[in-house]
Homo-oligomer: A and B are copies of this chain.
């Protein structure tokens, strides 16, 4: 262990927050202290745990000395070499982290909301102070994705990231797919199991995923992306029918966080970052990500396709990621050096999500009579949107339905069309959908979903 074998005093670790994640961090820090000391080259001493109410009952592992609990977060920060922030929210987390950084402490945070809103302030402060800031736990919980993107892929060019980075929505969509239940029922089940909050908005509306998308996009493309740069659409409009039709066409619906390098019509290069539900082909590695698991699929020029899979939330998994960062920061205290700084040299423009070119699946309810498919196809052609496939599923095909039987028997039942397009720009697709919607035999545009990962 070289330099690390020299006698080295303990490194003082402060923990801000003692909820689901914090209590696990405290447990691991104390239960694994011998291993951690060997790996770091110095003991890690937990010197305090800042909480709002030190007298409140809380489940702490026996290995954790309860006298470490304190309500004086500022005082605690002032006497630490490494500050771990797992309290969440913007303030006082931001102020405490800035104070820690200014005092020369390394900081480790799991706070995706803070990083997506105001990461650059923290990165700049850490840069100025010459200290480490690590945040592996802020994206996809236990899954090592921040470090691989920042370091392992530092010699490559990332083209695109497709991530299932919100376990709640993946659980909900997976339950809908495997049982046929409704969105509302699946959310209630997720709440009963503790996978969803009483107010599930942050998850189901895609805010949580958007924060992670902003962080990942910044790292992957060496540019600044903040929460408001992310186009966002949640899963609240996904119906049991959507899920069933997806299965029938060989797909599964996932809420994806997408960050990709794009070139718009004017030839200018930029980044598109968006969160929305999408159809993922069953053969794609992301399609097999079940339950509350997360996975991040990365396409890079040289590396090709990579995927990182694991638990995206929960006390112990998130604590694992936090502790990995703590060891990195601590090793730097012992051996010298520091981790990579924020890299924003590329300074790429954020292009609107409408720049992104994807495949679409459009479902229509139409009058069940001949000629409708031809009319719809004509609209697509006139808008320059190329059709990959049109399905007129047999369950819905009433006798005499177009292109199935071909005879005009005057039936006016309802038929369903499922159109999958080749890659098209969002604007072209939107114009196409508008034009189809006003065709006389079209009763309803039932759904329009992007197809990703093909």
Contacts and interface: CB of A to CB of B under 8 A. Distances in A.
B1 A345 contact: yes
Contacts of A39: 154-155, 222, 343, 345
A147 B317 CA distance: 18
A311 B321 contact: no
A320 B302 contact: yes
A144 interface: yes
B337 A36 contact: no
A4 B341 contact: yes
Given A152-B147, A331-B340, A337-B337, A310 B306 contact: yes
A320 B157 CA distance: 9
B306 A142 contact: yes
A316 B340 contact: no
Contacts of A308: 144, 306-309
B155 A322 contact: yes
Interface string A62-100: 000000000000000000000000000000000000000
A127 interface: yes
A302 B323 contact: yes
A403 to B, nearest CB: 33
A152 B308 CA distance: 13
A308 B151 CA distance: 15
A1 B343 contact: yes
A177 to B, nearest CB: 15
A324 interface: yes
B343 A38 contact: yes
B309 A304 contact: no
A377 interface: no
Contacts of A36: 155
Given A155-B323, A157-B35, A322-B155, A305 B311 contact: yes
A306 B303 contact: no
B285 A1 contact: no
B321 A38 contact: no
Nearest to A27: B302
Given A153-B144, A306-B142, A337 B335 contact: yes
Contact of A303 (B1, B155, B310, B345): B310
Contact of A304 (B4, B32, B151, B311): B311
Contact of A155 (B152, B306, B326): B326
B305 A310 contact: yes
Contacts of A174: none
B156 A320 contact: yes
Contacts of A151: 147, 324, 327-328
A327 B222 CA distance: 14
Interface in A325-380: 325-328, 331-332, 335-338, 340-341, 343, 345-346
A28 interface: yes
A319 interface: yes
A384 interface: no
A143 interface: yes
Interface in A1-40: 1-4, 24, 28, 32, 35-36, 38-39
Contacts of A311: 303-306
A444 to B, nearest CB: 37
Contact of A2 (B28, B127, B285, B310): B127
A309 B309 contact: yes
Interface string A126-146: 011010000010000011100
Contacts of A335: 337-338, 341
A425 interface: no
A60 interface: no
Interface of A: 1-4, 24, 28, 32, 35-36, 38-39, 127-128, 130, 136, 142-144, 147-148, 151-157, 222, 285, 288, 300-311, 314, 316-317, 319-328, 331-332, 335-338, 340-341, 343, 345-346
- 8 closest Cβ contacts across the A-B interface? A337-B337, A155-B323, A144-B152, A302-B320, A303-B320, A142-B303, A154-B327, A306-B310
6 contacts: A24-B302, A28-B155, A32-B157, A151-B327, A154-B328, A285-B288
